[in-house]
Each structure stands twice: as structure tokens, then as C-alpha cells.
Structure 1
Amino acid sequence: MFLGSINHASFNLRSWLARSATLLFFYSSLVGCATVPDADAVINGTNSDANPRVMGAKGPLTAKQSKALFERLGLNAQNSDLFKRHLAVEQEIAESPLVTGNSTRLLRDGEQTFDAIFDAIRSAKHHVNMEYYILENVEHKGTKLADLLVAKRQEGVQINILYDSFGSISTPPEFFDRLRKAGVKVLEFNPMNPLERRRIIKSPNDRDHRKILVVDGHTAIVGGINLSVNYQSRPFDATGDKKMEHWRDTDLEVRGPVVAELQKLFFDQWYKHLGEKIDDKGYFPPLKPNGIEVVRVIGSGPDHEISRFYVTLLSAIRNAEKTIWITNSYFLPTKGMKQDLMDAARRGVDVRLLVQGKSDVQATLAAQRSHYSDLLEAGVKVYESDHAILHAKTVVIDGVWSVVGSSNLDHRSVLYNDEVDVIVLGEVTGKEVESMFKDDIAKAKSIQLAEWKRRPMLQRLNEFFSRFFQNIM
């Protein structure tokens, strides 16, 4: 989000003031009038009869092998027409294959995710690649991240870190200095300081919003969770009192051949941003099948004419027949996305949105709520999470098409951010995401149309004027 990254617990006044002058340069470069490209031309121009590119551990699957795979997934019978169109769109837009033979594990909130991240780093034998929007010296079970990374580097493990300059503005420079002195390769994405931008030809408004960890080329963790002290919170302590504001988020641990796609995405970003040469020997080990999940990695960014994930998601929404359940932290939808959700609800699809009821960026709430009336009148069910700060970005459609990633459903993610989203095909992950969604809405507040229409006039005016600024939030 536009304002959110500087509003967290590790705020360091001295280091922030030392660099705050660069904000003037940043603000002067905002492109508030940018518009979302038309996705219809891309979707409508797709060959819906095309076979999606499917990769196995040994290379592309034949048409016969692909058909057998989709039969096992239940996608060749009543579900085949449902998936045919958006799979074809993904083939042309995502520029990445569907990869078979993977295992996935949903990780809820910071506790489970930090468990997985710290364990993965401890297990590293060859390398650790990290790409994070917010990177701080988080602590987990008594171990600081910097201490762990330095220790692994001393063991000979190669460590490469790419962090976003704006997102990590509050991280003390001493954290990165210590890592560099230990031999860790550290690269700052799109430096906010104009003096450091001489070789970088990017808008100051562009952000690397991705959250990716790849260890030894065979294990990856991806999703919405930053390495931020916000995620050191737990919902409640032993007495039931909150220790600190709890952040509700989701990551996905992936093992299997598709990890190579996340590795490629990391290296592509590293070299596009002029990172120093890395000897990639050992970074792409042979990967045997590790499960039955079919996974696609989609990397989106402003270098593309239109967000690959945005078009893929719209296509999936348009082809949904039963359910569209979305959890998203900063819901400031484009006109096209909002219309597609309303159209789906009107044709009888069970469309549910779980969004923030409290926020780390208060300005977004009014803009988000300005969309409720239209959505509710169309039959979309809206729920607000007010027991925690919701930061998760997940989607599950018809119980078999799931997404865990970094993309918010807002203009910033579509226009300006580099994002990463992982699509999983199959009922196993689909049911897990649905179960998680049901758990979350059970604790959320359901927004009812009749009650919503009675909200105060001052609130309506605030929503109306906030809508004008949603493109740059």
C-alpha cells in the first residue's frame, strides 16, 4: 500500500529522518492519473480451444498425459468447460507453465510462516534467496533473523537478498550493513534516494511487493507475509488479552518442480535491477515429483502491458459456476474487476468477499466501503474482519482453482507493483483454502444491505471523496 509500510512497530526515527527528504522526490513522481489497461481485449482474443502448457518433472506433458492428468483432477467431465477458457488465457498471459508433481502447505499467520521460514533457512546447505517488500530483523523463538543468516553464511551457504526500498524504509541501515559485512549479497530495489538511482530507470512509484523465499532450489515459501515484526504477534496470550495487534495473513510452502519457476523469477528480478553476478551452479537442482498438485507461478509487474495475474483472475471469475470466495486486505477494485464480481453474483455464483474491518492504513477503509452498496445490491456477500488486521490475499473458485500471493485487489497492484501469485489446481488445496475462509468469516462481521443503507451521511461523504484517491493508495 501507498502509506502502510512506514506504519509498523519497528519504526526507527533516526534512520527514517535521515532518508525522509527523499519522500519529496517520490511524491513528485506519483502518477495518479494512470489507468488500468483493458483486459477484455486480451481475454477475448484468447483461443479457448488451446491446450494449456503443462510441465512435468521431465519436461512438457503430451496431450495424452495432460488429458489423463485433468481426468485425475476431475477437470475433464463437468468441470472441463469451467476451466477451459481461463486455462487458455493463463497460457497466453502468464508466460509460465502449469507444473505437475508438487506439494503445497498453507501457512496461517506469522507463527506458522516464521516456523517454516526459519526452519527452511536452518536446513539450507547451498543457498538462500530472499525477495521481500518489508525486511526487518524479526525474531522467532529467541532467534534473530540477522543472527541466523550470518551463521548460515559462515557455514558457507550463499545468501542473496533483494528488498524494496520503500517497503523497508523503517529498517535500520545497520541491519543490512551487518549482512553485507558477513558476505551476504544485498540488493535494494528501486532506491528512494535519488542519488542512488542513477543507473536505475524506473518510476519511484514502482515497488517490489513480492514475498519469496527459496532454499536450495527445492523449497519455496510465498504469499502475503512480510518479514516484519508485525507478524511476531499472536492472536491472544494465556489470559485472553491481546499482546499486540494481530495480523491475519497467509503464505504457501511449495516443494517440487515448480520451485524452479520461483527461482527463475527471483533471478530475473535480481538482474533486471543490476544485481551483481551470481554463479547459478547448484541453484537449479533436478527436482523430482513431490506431490500431486498442479501449480502455476505468475510474476506480474509494470514492465508488462497489463498485469498477468489481473487478467488471469478476471478470466477465472468470468468462468466461475459455483463459488468465488476472496480474502483480500486492501480491496479497492478496478472498474472491470468490480463489474465481473457483480455479474458473477447476478448469474447465481456464490460470491463472498472478506475484507478489512480495521486497517493499518485508515485512509483505505472509506474508499473500500464506497464499493459496498453496488456489490451488496448485486448479491455479493461482504464480510469485514475486525478482530485482527487482515493482510491475506487468497482466492478459491469452485473449490478447485486457488490462489495464494502478494497481489492486492487494488490499482496499485495492477499498475505499479511487482507481484507474485501462485495458482494451484485441484480439490485438495481448494478445500483447504475454503476451510480457512469459512474459519475467517465465522469471526467476521457480515455487512447487510438494509443496515448499510442506514449508515450516517457523514460516513457516505467520506467514502465518496476517498474514492477519488484509491488509485494511489
Structure 2
Amino acid sequence: MLQMPLGQAAQLKRLLFVALLCLAGCSSLPTIVPDLARTPRQPVQLQGVHGPLSPAQSKAILEGLGRHGQETGIFDRHLAREEAIVGSPLTTGNRVLLLQNGPATYGAMLEAIAAARDHINMETYILEDDDVGQRFAQALIDKQQQGVQVNLIRDSVGTRGTPASFFQKLADAGVRVLEFNPINPFVARKEWELNRRDHRKLLIVDGRKAFLGGINISSVYASGSAKQGRRVQDADGPTWRDTDLQLEGPVVAELQKLFLAAWAAQKGDPLAARHYFPPTEAAGQEVVRAIGSSPDEAYSLIYATLLSAIGSAQTSVLLTNAYFVPDPQLLATLEAAAARGVDVRLILPSQTDSWLVFHAGRGYYEQLLRAGVKLYERRGVNLHSKTVLVDGVWATVGSTNLDWRSFLHNHELNAVVLGADFGKQVQAMFEKDLAESDEITLAQWQKRPIKNRLKEYLARMWAYWL
């Protein structure tokens, strides 16, 4: 007979009771994305520093992107659909730098802040009152006092543990601080919807340089770990694994539009006049699309384009994600890719700061393994990266997790980068993580303890709310 500690048994009973109540009120989960096959296809047109390129120019650039990479037709099958879904342009002339983990990302962000001359726009989910948070706060205050306008959007739930005095100090220095969807309904500036959160991580400096990805502003990313649900400093070294991008070029203007739209939608006070859209200049050769999603739309634009990209894959899908609770459409898309011979590999966490998400995701392992999807769990870190590489030429990095919360309830932000050159960097990063991961086999997984199966079953009942 299965034995477990009394406290754990009581917790499981409570979870089961509440889960049954949730199921009674939500007997079926919604379809997140409509039929992608019906999406109209138009010729793909790139946006350069001087405006739209001609069809011939766009075609030549796209053909060049696939050279020296895997044999694939993803551009032909997917990009027109992506453009129709998302609406934001594919921009050329960008420079993209792949950043891994807190020290590299924070160093680059703080260097960019120090060099700001006109304005700084920052949007974040978590901004903590710790060593890293204080460094960023002081850097922003210093620039504000130098005449650089600083505008900050911080999520109310994500920053609920940060003292009000932390943000008041910023505001007193002249920083415009906007609380996204306040927890307190009496201070909400629009309709109050507690479940809608701003999960984006974005920093824009002078309209010319931008940072996005998965990283929050917290010391755990510099050197930290999670303990009993709280973020605490850990002197043993960095244990959070994250991925971000530094971007320069025309795509920064698209990210700027998303920030300003979020500010306006939250009914923030009018922003001080600044050069938010400086003349566009080429900074490199990368082709990039910015994609922002919000629950105000009929469906997640990021999710829809991800399904389309995986559905168009011919050779490989390499996916790394922190919080994996797939819906039926994503499961079917991954299984179909594996069935047609695509090498589908997922790197997922072996430990996490979210018990429910962790076990809910594991509840789908057997189904995926039977379909031929290869699963790996990253050792020794809290995996927080959100990256996908398809056929070695279509890559995305951003804030979006593969769970219902990201696709239904959160405001998210990703960048899509095209081409074999950048794809090789993402693949090298994936293989490095793969070397630090343990493969999960079907035979091994079927031998897991009954208590783990029960956790998975209970956690999956919460899928819609995770």
C-alpha cells in the first residue's frame, strides 16, 4: 500500500478537492488557436531601414537565409502565414546578440542604461528590492537626474513582494512608474481583471537598442536559488538558467510601438516628449520579427505562429522551456512532427519553483514519448529559458512559456530571428544544455512511483489556471 507523510497526504487531498470544484465549472478546455490552414497566404515582404523592400529584394534575402543550413521549406510554408497572423513586419538590417544567464544579460543592460542620452523604457514582471534590483533602480535614477526620461511598467502581481517605498523612490526622482493591472481594484485605471498579467521583459534605450527574453530583475539570476517559494541569495553561484537577446536596428521601433501601446492601454499618464522613434539605421544583417501577445486579442499571436512553425518543420524542432503545460493543439503538433520524421527534442526542468506546473507538465511525458518525441531534463539549475529552433533557421526567444497562462492570460513578448547563422548559435546553446541534461526514456518513465503519478494527475486538473 502506498505510504506518504501525513502533511503531503493532506496537501494532496486539498488539491484534489479544489481541482474537482474547478473541473465542475470548466468541463472542457478552450481551443486556443483557430484552424491555421485557413489563414490566407500573401507574398512575404521585408521591411528595411528605408521602408518596405521590393518583392524581388525580399525573395533574394529570404533565399539567402537558408543557405549553409538544413534542407527546409519552412520559409515557403510558414512565413506568409506568420505575417498574416501577426501583422508586424519582418525587418532586415538588425544586429542580434544572444545572451545567456544573468551576469551577461545584466552587464549588457546596465551598460546600455549608462550610455542612454534621451530616454529609457522598461517593462518587467518581477523587479525585486535586492542587490540587483537596487543596482537597476540606482542606474535608472542616475539617468533620470541627468535629464534622460525613464518610463517603467511593472506588473502588480510580479512585484507584489517589492516594498512600495522602492517604487516611490523612483517616482520621487522623476521616473514615470506605471503599475500594470493593480491588484487593488480601487486603484485600477481600467476594468479590473486580476488574472491578466504583464509577463513581458523589455528594455529599450534611446529607441536604438533593446533587450528581451525571460530574465526578471532579481538577484537569483545573478547568483541565486529558490527555497520554500521565496527567492533568496545563494553564494554558491548562478543556478538559474535563462536566455535573452540584445537587439539593434529597425526591429527596435517595433518593440517601441509595443511598449507605448501597453502604456496607453493601461491608461498611464501622458509620457514626456522624447525621440522615441529616431531615424532608422542598419546595425547588422539579421532578419527579425517582434511579436507581442495579449489576452485582448482573439488568440495568442506568439502561440499561433509557434504552432505554424512546428507544423511546417521538416528536419528538427529543438525546444527549451521553463514551464511546460501543453494544450491539445500543441501536443498534436509536436506528435505530428515526430510522426513525419522530424527530430523533436524538448529540454525541460528537472527542478522548478512551481510545483503544480512541474508535475502537470510531467503528466504529458508518456504521451509524447510514445509519439517519438525525445525528452530531456536539465540538471543542476532552475531552467527559465524559453527558446525554439525549427529546421536550424527559424528561432524564437522571449518571455512565453508553453502553458495556458502564457497563451490565455498573460501579455508576452518574443522575437523571431531567421537564418542559419543565428540558428547555429541557438543550436550550439541547445547542445550545451543537452550535455547537462538527462534523457527520459519511455521504459524508465513507466517505472516512476505511484505518488508521482498521483501528483501529475492532480496537477493536470489545474492546467487552465497554471
**SS of the counterpart of 2:462?**
helix
Give the match for residue 114 of structure 1. 106
- The 1:75–1:63 alpha-carbon spacing in structure 2 relative to 1, beyond 3 Å, is farther
CA distance in 2, matches of 1:406, 1:222: 8
CA distance in 2, matches of 1:420, 1:114: 19
Does residue 465 (structure 1) correspond to residue 455 (structure 2)? The answer is: no
Gaps of at least 5 residues in structure 2 are 1-20, 226-233
Does residue 384 (structure 1) correspond to residue 374 (structure 2)? The answer is: no
**Amino acid aligned to 1:60:** P
Give the match for residue 202 of structure 2. 212
**SS of the counterpart of 1:65?**
helix
**Amino acid aligned to 1:223:** G
Q: How many Å apart are 1:53 and its aligned residue?
A: 3.2
- The 1:40–1:113 alpha-carbon spacing in structure 2 relative to 1, beyond 3 Å, is closer
Give the match for residue 229 of structure 2. none
**SS of the counterpart of 1:413?**
helix
Asked if structure 2 preserves the Cα contact closer than 8 Å seen for 1:217 and 1:283, the reply is yes
Asked if structure 2 preserves the Cα contact closer than 8 Å seen for 1:37 and 1:306, the reply is no
Does residue 83 (structure 1) correspond to residue 111 (structure 2)? The answer is: no
* 1:175-324 mapped onto 2 (5 Å cutoff): 175-197=166-188, 199-233=189-223, 243=236, 246-324=239-317
**Amino acid aligned to 2:377:** E
Q: How many Å apart are 1:398 and its aligned residue?
A: 0.6
Coordinate RMSD, CA, aligned:
2.4
CA distance in 1, matches of 2:273, 2:289: 23
* 1:344-363 mapped onto 2 (5 Å cutoff): 344-363=337-356
1:28-66 Cα distance to aligned partner (Å, 9 max, x none)? 999983976546644111234x21231000001110111
- The 1:164–1:358 alpha-carbon spacing in structure 2 relative to 1, beyond 3 Å, is same
When normalised by structure 1's length, the TM-score is 0.88
- The 1:154–1:136 alpha-carbon spacing in structure 2 relative to 1, beyond 3 Å, is same
Q: How many Å apart are 1:82 and its aligned residue?
A: 2.3
Gaps of at least 5 residues in structure 1 are 1-27, 236-240
CA distance in 1, matches of 2:31, 2:409: 16
Indicate which of 417, 420, 442 corresponds to 2:410.
Answer: 417
Q: How many residues align?
A: 438
CA distance in 1, matches of 2:404, 2:70: 35
Q: How many Å apart are 1:67 and its aligned residue?
A: 1.2
Q: How many Å apart are 1:90 and its aligned residue?
A: 1.2
Would you identify which runs of 4 or more consecutive aligned residues in structure 1 move more than 4 Å?
28-32, 34-37, 75-80
- The 1:79–1:303 alpha-carbon spacing in structure 2 relative to 1, beyond 3 Å, is farther
* 1:29-44 mapped onto 2 (5 Å cutoff): 33=26, 38=31, 41-44=34-37
When normalised by structure 2's length, the TM-score is 0.89
Q: How many Å apart are 1:458 and its aligned residue?
A: 2.0
Give the match for residue 426 of structure 1. 419
CA distance in 1, matches of 2:278, 2:25: 44
CA distance in 2, matches of 1:95, 1:76: 29
Q: How high is the sequence identity, in percent, across the aligned residues?
A: 46
CA distance in 2, matches of 1:172, 1:29: 33
